[in-house]
Amino acid sequence: MRITSIALFAALSSPAFAEDEPTKVTHPLSAEMRKTLRTQHEAVLKQNPVEDGKKLSVNQHSRRGDALFFLGRFDECVEEYEAMVKLNPSLDASHWRLGIAYFFAKNPKKGAAQFDKYHTFDDVDRENGIWRYLCQYHATDAKTAKKELLKYEKDDREPFPAVYKLFDDSLSPEQVLAKIPKDLPETQKDMRLFYSELYIGMHLVVKKKPNQAARYLALATSRKWPQRAGFGPNYMWHVGRVQLEQLLKAKKQSTDR
């Protein structure tokens, strides 16, 4: 059964949500929609094949890397993104997708280093600081990740000023969501909710609270705005979807034993 945003919000508002209980969370996309996505990503790989003696362009490696990430093939994705940098070293500092791929490929030290480089490229984007924190959390520990959070002096786009405070414990998930004005136009509200739910979910992932994480990531994945938006938001929608699918797969495997 396809889970709706209303049903998920009801789960979030229930008292039981405070605990990491095994409440059932299902995928917000139908099986048919997930199959369509897989077919689309596999088609990209077929359109940009790796053949003996044939060199691929930066754009082809980029397209292959994205498709492999969206299919959950993270080690292969890293190879494609690294090939982009090898062909064009000027892409290195700005390659945030490579940092995310390192995180999912279980190479958090390289991920943290990649986000350090990105900070020299863009010292405003708190989303980069969040991913550095997530990598640091895995590479070291919670205390170190919090202590070494990147500091920002300039304003950033909404909802990141509030979302970033989640990671130094200045705000709770409930407080982050409460800061989103209720009278916003629907598209703006959907955008802010998406990013808030995505990063609340990712924070709970590294804190090893998979059930709570799955609930927030299911909410983020159910959002329409990032599915229709441009490259960056759409990529981050896939990040939330892929992470959700990993959690649901792990949950199924544990219950099948």
pLDDT band at 253 (very low <50, low <70, confident <90, very high): confident
Q: Where are the domains of the chain?
A: 34-91, 92-149, 157-250
Neighbours of 32 (CB within 10 A): 8
pLDDT at 64 (0 to 100):
98
**To the nearest whole percent, how much of the chain has pLDDT over 70?**
91
pLDDT at 7 (0 to 100):
44
pLDDT at 20 (0 to 100):
62
The set of residues, in sequence order, having a beta carbon less than 8 Å from that of 191 and lying 6+ positions away, is: 225, 226, 229, 233
In tens, the pLDDT along 86-145 reads 999 999 999 999 999 999 999 999 999 999 999 999 999 999 999 999 999 999 999 999
Closest by Cα among 201, 198, 203 to 233: 198
Q: Are 184 and 150 in contact (CB under 8 A)?
A: no
d(CA 206, CA 215): 15
Tokens 């093939």 -> residue = 73
Do you know the residue count of the chain? 257
For residue 78, what are its two tokens?
């890293």
pLDDT at 255 (0 to 100):
78
pLDDT band at 254 (very low <50, low <70, confident <90, very high): confident
pLDDT at 21 (0 to 100):
64
pLDDT at 15 (0 to 100):
37
pLDDT band at 22 (very low <50, low <70, confident <90, very high): low
Q: Are 127 and 107 in contact (CB under 8 A)?
A: no
pLDDT band at 190 (very low <50, low <70, confident <90, very high): very high
pLDDT band at 201 (very low <50, low <70, confident <90, very high): very high
Amino acid, res. 187: T
Q: Are 51 and 45 in contact (CB under 8 A)?
A: no
d(CA 3, CA 245): 14
pLDDT at 87 (0 to 100):
97
Q: Are 163 and 176 in contact (CB under 8 A)?
A: yes
d(CA 156, CA 164): 10
For residue 235, what are its two tokens?
């990529």
Average pLDDT estimate for 7-30:
63
pLDDT at 54 (0 to 100):
84
Is residue 223 exposed (0-12), middle (13-18) or buried (19+ Cβ within 10 Å)? Answer: buried
Closest by Cα among 213, 183, 179 to 197: 213
More confident residue, 188 or 252: 188
pLDDT at 10 (0 to 100):
46
Closest by Cα among 101, 177, 180 to 134: 101
In tens, the pLDDT along 30-47 reads 999 999 999 999 999 999
Neighbours of 114 (CB within 10 A): 27
Q: Are 226 and 252 in contact (CB under 8 A)?
A: no
In tens, the pLDDT along 223-249 reads 999 999 999 999 999 999 999 999 999
d(CA 182, CA 200): 19
Asked if pLDDT for residue 16 goes beyond 80, the answer is no
pLDDT at 174 (0 to 100):
97
Amino acid, res. 97: R
Mean pLDDT estimate for the chain? 91
pLDDT at 256 (0 to 100):
75
